Chain A
Amino acid sequence: MSDFPHTPPRYSATFTPAINAEIRRAAASGIYDIRGAGTKRHLPHFDDLLFLGASISRYPLEGYREKCATDVWLGTRHAKKPIHLDIPVTIAGMSFGALSGPAKEALGRGASAAGTSTTTGDGGMTEEERGHSKTLVYQYLPSRYGMNPDDLRRADAIEIVVGQGAKPGGGGMLLGQKISDRVAMMRNLPKGIDQRSACRHPDWTGPDDLEIKIMEIREITDWEKPIYVKVGGARPYYDTALAVKAGADVVVLDGMQGGTAATQDVFIEHVGMPILACIPQAVKALQDLGMHRKVQLIVSGGIRTGADVAKALALGADAVAIGTAALIALGDNDPALEAEYQKLGTTADAYDDWHEGKDPAGITTQDPELYKRFDPVLGGRRLKNYLKVMTLEAQTIARACGKNHLHNLEPEDLVALNVEAAAMAGVPIAGTNWIPGRGGY
């Protein structure tokens, strides 16, 4: 033995312990990893942007005194009854099936108390959410589980889902363990089987068909309801332009940070674009068509704070949607439940096996023993509080930038901290006039 010291152990940056663990898991199980939530990788995000605030050339508004409005109209292009929301933060589509009935009720309660909308999901409209949602958006999905004209008519808006950020181009699978009698009945399928949600609509393909499909839904609902088209963050310029061409009132654009109830990890982590890269392209499409602010843009995927809301709106969105953040506000992944997360082989703030139906918080489950733990009244109150805080935060920033409405925020208010975020957001790197890809050295 030499007396020289050994080279200390060095982990590979390519074959990290996490990668190796996944190789071993795949080798042992023979199946890819399925999980819930959105991407967990580091991505250029709103954290890489800063507001400049007021200065000699910009006047700020007085906090707590001068009005900074937050309301938004959605569906003003064609609908006889457009939607008016008090705040530009909406609740994204999440299915009954993926979520428990009480969790859907809590989303309706919280959203309504905060003056915003909630959205159904793949599995139809439940009485819990219709009854507790002042403004309810009804999703029209490829699976058409639970779809019927009565619910179309009692919705406040209709969202045709083409894709979602966690898996643009992918369908879904609600695994058998979450298929209770009620979920099975709503989906016209036997209990306990895996329920696949198709990735393509069964009766239209392409933008020309979509235009006819939108017309059909308008005819069924007598042109009253705003019709949204939701797309995942894949080709936002063209998808937005085609949705507008097809007649959408609102485009919903979901970046890859957006969550899912259950999808392959490889899909979540490797398909789609971060929302920061998507918004400017969608806004450009709207501007090129002369439809910015006429067709509204709702963006989602990784919205957590009022700062994120303000930045999304400054880039040109009309509103945002939250999903994962809303679940956390309800109580998902709470460290107070750490002992139970440990039993499931995970830890609070990392729990993502939503598809297994064992959620100790009683939110992503159909197990009555688990979901009765969840108090929808308390959950609704927590969500309302969170939505109010986000709104106040966004107003604080907007006032500092001299804006009397959140929609008056603009890209000129923003700078980026790094090249990637600057290029994606189309704003200069802080302290320079340089927007990568647009010249201006």
Chain B
Amino acid sequence: MQTFDLAARGLRELNQTLHAVKGTTNQTAWEIINTKGSHAIAVGVDAPLDITVHGTTGYYCAGMNKQATIRIKGHAGPGVAENMMSGAVIVDGNASQYAGATGRGGLLVIKGNASSRCGVSMKGIDIVVHGNIGHMSAFMAQSGSLVVLGDAGDALGDSLYEARLFVRGKVKSLGSDCIEKEMRPEHLELLEDLLRRGEATGKARPEEFRRYGSARQLYNFNIDNASAY
């Protein structure tokens, strides 16, 4: 286990050190201490590392992550795991707004609640939130899955494309072009896998969720839909 004291050595050295680690190394286990809410912790990592961040993080922790598994033992600030490509990011606490924004792959797990715009413009990432999510979540979400064990705020899935949304609790309101859809066996199977990978097995059963997706009415501009915008 490599221990990196962020307060002592600074952010630039941290990220450059992680970028320098190649996939063939045996030194795959890292822990980062004294984070003190710093922004951009462990961004742009591109190796199969196992990184544990002790403490609360600021903006964009694990941004653009590839391959690494990054576990945050605290709360995460805005844009955690933004544009993630692959790997996994697990937040033991709550996450602020834009969690998983534009993520293209990998898995983001939030054990607490996520704020507004969770999964905004997501492009293939899978997100599992054990608590609730805030308003405008999955706005313009293109692909991937968002699983919420708690409730969702206003305007869920506004202007949604092909992302799949699963919510167990209440949805305060659906956004434009987002509708409830039939839960078919393949969705239950997908959910079971997501719950397992999202460390939520035993906390919820797939049958307890409802599925939401795009009505696909806004895919091509039509003047008669102008009131939806």
Contacts and interface: CB of A to CB of B under 8 A. Distances in A.
Main secondary structure of the interface of A (DSSP, over half): loop
A188 B85 contact: no
Size bin of chain B's contact surface: 35 or more
Contacts, number: 103
Interface residues of A, number: 34
A144 B123 contact: yes
A50 to B, nearest CB: 46
Main secondary structure of the interface of B (DSSP, over half): loop
Contacts of B220: 176, 192-194
A149 interface: yes
Contacts of A369: none
A213 B142 CA distance: 22
Interface in B120-148: 120-121, 123-124, 139-140, 142-143
A148 B65 CA distance: 10
Given A148-B64, A190-B162, A194-B221, A216 B40 contact: yes
A222 B124 CA distance: 26
Contact of B104 (A148, A176, A216): A148
B10 to A, nearest CB: 11
Contacts of B139: 202
A222 B13 CA distance: 9
B159 A196 contact: yes
A13 interface: no
Contacts of B123: 144, 188
Interface stretch (B55-63, B184-192, B195-203, B205-213): B55-63
Nearest to B159: A196
A220 B121 contact: no
Contact of A148 (B78, B83, B117): B83
Contact of A188 (B43, B44, B58, B124): B124
Interface in B32-47: 39-40, 43-44, 46
Contacts of B162: 189-190
Given A212-B60, A213-B60, A216-B40, A188 B104 contact: yes
B16 interface: yes
20 contacts: A144-B102, A144-B121, A144-B123, A147-B83, A148-B83, A148-B85, A149-B64, A176-B220, A188-B123, A188-B142, A188-B143, A193-B219, A196-B159, A202-B102, A203-B82, A203-B120, A215-B40, A220-B40, A222-B16, A223-B12
Given A220-B15, A220-B43, 9 more contacts: A29-B223, A30-B223, A149-B64, A187-B142, A188-B104, A194-B220, A196-B140, A215-B39, A216-B40
Interface of A: 29-31, 143-144, 147-149, 152, 173, 175-176, 187-190, 192-194, 196, 198, 202-204, 209, 212-213, 215-216, 219-223
